[in-house]
A and B are shown apart, each in its own frame.
Chain A
Amino acid sequence: MDIKERDDRYNAYLTSKMPKTKAFPSLFHAFWIGGLICCLGELIKDLLLLAFPDMSLNVASTFESVIIIVLASFLTGVGIYDRIGAYAGAGSIIPISGFSNSITSPALEFKREGLIFGLCAKMFIIAGPVIVTGVVASFVAGIIYIFI
């Protein structure tokens, strides 16, 4: 069997085994779960402003993100967020809860490799690139904004 034929057969086999994402339903799932998480955030902010009328909008928005982050981390811990993720795809990744999930999930996964080099080190395996690019981009954005 020559190499090309072998490669073709292997690729065909791979394609047949790959999980197929049904395009249209997954778009709808991502849309409504993503929208719902954003609405939950807005609801948390409104409830905070109702409970503490003298709270500034900035503080309320910060609390809103923090509450969503802690909630998503907890749901990841008990294994519910992964099920939401399987259903909603990008709808669970793009909201800030997905960022929280991307930290808690590897922390849980690598706990067995030890506290320091497992849990603490691998915690940033996905969020690390996000924070690095974010900090660099914000620095560059600051410079661009100032000099233009």
Chain B
Amino acid sequence: MIFDPMMYLKVFLVGGLICLIGQILIITTKMTSARILVTFLLSGVFLHVIGVFEPLKEFAGSGVTIPIMGFGYSLAKGAIEGWYDYGLIGLLTGGLTATSAGIAAAVVSAFVFSLLFSSKTKK
């Protein structure tokens, strides 16, 4: 079902809660953004391996797939599906295949927009 208001409420609450946990980590441990991203990515991989991520995704949709955990989930899911479809080669190709659209989009748009614009933060 699309445009379900209850779904949007769940997406907002779960997505917000994940970012809240991240902010608590930043305040208490002074982690840099790279460490935060890595930590949450690994938590996504871990949650998928123990079988918790799929029910969470069923429950909160974009609330768990838009945070970087969703990226880790796609990587792990791709690698596991790759194994069942293509064996050992699939285990290697699956993860990046599943996330290639995101990585390519990020690289291409970063390349284009950094050529078009110049840095505004440092005057």
- Chain A interface residues toward B at CB < 8 A: 21, 23, 26-27, 29-39, 41-43, 45-46, 49-50, 61-62, 64-66, 68-70, 73-74, 76-79, 82, 88-91, 93-96, 98-100, 102-104, 107-109, 111, 119-120, 123, 126-127, 129-131, 133-135, 137-139, 141-146
Contact B15 A93, beta carbon cutoff 8 Å: no
Contacts of B25 in A (CB 8 A): 90
Beyond the given A96-B66, A127-B37, A137-B41, could you list 9 further A-B residue pairs with CB under 8 A, ordered by the A residue number? Answer: A70-B105, A82-B121, A90-B36, A91-B23, A99-B37, A100-B105, A137-B75, A138-B95, A146-B80
Cβ contact within 8 Å between A133 and B17: no
**Contact, CB under 8 Å: B34 / A134:** no
Complex Cα spacing A50 to B103, Å: 26
What chain B residues lie within 8 Å of A90 (beta carbons)? 19-23, 25-26, 36
**Given A38-B63, A142-B79: A94 touches B120 (CB 8 Å cut-off):** no
Binding site of B, secondary structure by majority: helix, strand, loop or mixed? helix
Q: How far is the CB of A17 from chain B (nearest CB, A)?
A: 15
User: Which residues of B are in contact with A by a Cβ distance under 8 Å?
Assistant: 2-3, 7-8, 11-27, 33-34, 36-38, 40-42, 45-46, 48-49, 61-63, 65-68, 70-72, 75-76, 78-80, 82-83, 91-92, 94-96, 99, 101-103, 105-107, 109-111, 113-122
CB pair B36–A31 under 8 Å, yes or no, is no
